Amino acid sequence: MAGRLFIETVGCQMNVLDSEMVVASLRKVGYELVAEARDADAILFNTCSVREHAEDKTYSALGKLKRLKLEHPEKIIGVMGCMAQKDQQLIFDRAPHVDFVVGPGQLQRIAALIDEARKGAEQQLAVSLGRRDGTREAIERSHETFDPLRDPEMRPTPFQAYLRIQIGCDKFCTYCVVPMTRGPEQCRTPAEIYEEARVLADQGCLEVTLLGQTVNSYEHRGAGATTRLADLLVKLQDIEAIRRWKFVTNYPRDMSSELLAAVRDLPKVSHYLHVPAQSGSNSVLRRMKRGYTVEQYREMHARIREMVPDAAVSSDFIVGFCGETDEEFHETVELVRECRFKNSFIFKYSVRPGTKACELLPDDVPHDIKQRRNHELLSIQDAISEEDNAGFIGRTVEVLVEGLSKRGMRTAGTQAGPAQLTGRTPCDRIVVFDGDVALTGQVMPVKIHDVTAHTLIGELPAAANRDQLLPLYAGD
């Protein structure tokens, strides 16, 4: 059944990739994308459950569609993603005008679900088994990857792509819903991953980011050989067209020296490591059940600095986790000062039903203290980022041009001459500079003359000098 499709995506890279796959699968059966929900025959929300705020926003967006559905009952509304798996029937209770709910492990059913709904089916629920609802094998089978289709048109930038190498998570940090919503950790075969990377290369992809919740825990046991992330990276290097490889998110305990050696030695692998610490306090890490001590994190960080001295390391932190005292928070501040991360994502703890922390630990840090700690940590991190970025002034970096910057988009068409463009360095630093939008998708040298905490600001060398492109280099 052909029709018009609207999709809204929130959450992490996994969701962005799932949406790309869903759009590709629906295009195959005749759907075309539209930019407004009210113009669509099928409206999809790809949702995230990692914090309550993300869910609240989705429920409020769903609420806003109630009237549209009343006036146009033939329009189909579907909820997919992590909230679908977590809330299941609750979504129909809170938003009775939703036609179907489909978890991230059941996306191969989406075209059929829309079809059935358009034919007048009752509310349909397509979710995977819960973590205690069967044998490991049965649970694994109910969480299927949905990666066979690639749709370059769906990517915001066709020359960049995500490639999933692992689904699910088995770490069970006490605050986190992901092991419930995404199911058991499962690694795709090296052959599948390699094939998909070749398809991406054929589609003109220059930069591929390998995805996994704990991507460096990747391990595939085949006949006679075990493949880990370092081996996979080596294997992927012979795909010539792809000139940058990144991978996220890393788990501190699995940052092996073999992997760091691969990052150091393979010229196309970016010197960028996102490896969340979550806290700098051993007692908090223990309550979070993160599986390492702050000493082990420091040891890992020192090893990165030693083996890949120019690596950009970034982190995530949760502030105001259950029972976090001022002293514990200050241990996190210490770690941030010491490690000088390229950047940190800082989140206020949000209780998630179904997690161990929700069951066993009171959410006892008042909201205003969470807020204060969030601001304090962020301002310390930002000062560090700005100081370290200042070291780039006067240097030339290699930038993969992604298109108009936010400012470039605002001023598009209103001013003559070049627009402001944005792109990233191999180490994932954001660079803005003026240039012709036709440079999008190219790798250019940019000379930096100013910085903020989050951005390097530079200019293209004169056209005559551009041919002397930088040698391929994985650091900044």
- What x-and-dash track marks residues 401-430 binding ligand F3S by CB under 6 A? ------------------------------
Size of the site for ligand F3S (CB under 6 A): 13
> Which CB, 354 or 445, lies closer to ligand F3S?
354
Q: Is 213 in the site for ligand SF4 (CB under 6 A)?
A: yes
| Span interacting with ligand SAH, options 183-191, 349-357, 379-387, 395-403, rule CB under 6 A | 349-357
Q: Is 314 in the site for ligand SAH (CB under 6 A)?
A: no
Q: Is 50 in the site for ligand SAH (CB under 6 A)?
A: yes
Q: Is 103 in the site for ligand SF4 (CB under 6 A)?
A: no
Q: Is 344 in the site for ligand SAH (CB under 6 A)?
A: no
Q: Is 176 in the site for ligand SAH (CB under 6 A)?
A: yes
* Closest-approach residue to ligand F3S (CB): 11
Work out how close the CB of 8 gets to ligand F3S at its nearest, in angstroms, rounded to a whole number. 13
- What x-and-dash track marks residues 169-188 binding ligand F3S by CB under 6 A? --------xx--xx------
CA separation for the pair 325, 319 (Å, rounded):
10
Q: Which does 14 bind (CB under 5 to 8 A by kind): ligand F3S, ligand SAH, ligand SF4, none?
A: ligand F3S
CA separation for the pair 338, 38 (Å, rounded):
51
Q: Is 175 in the site for ligand SAH (CB under 6 A)?
A: yes
Please select the residue that binds ligand SF4; options are 181, 214, 250, 281, rule is CB under 6 A: 214
> Which CB, 176 or 346, lies closer to ligand SF4?
176
Please select the residue that binds ligand SF4; options are 65, 176, 233, 311, rule is CB under 6 A: 176
Q: Which does 51 bind (CB under 5 to 8 A by kind): ligand SAH, ligand F3S, ligand SF4, none?
A: ligand SAH
Q: Is 249 in the site for ligand SAH (CB under 6 A)?
A: yes
- The residues that touch ligand SF4, with contacts defined as CB under 6 A, are 169, 171-173, 176, 178-179, 213-214, 251
- The residues that touch ligand SAH, with contacts defined as CB under 6 A, are 50-51, 175-176, 178, 213-214, 249, 276, 278, 316, 318, 347, 349-350, 352
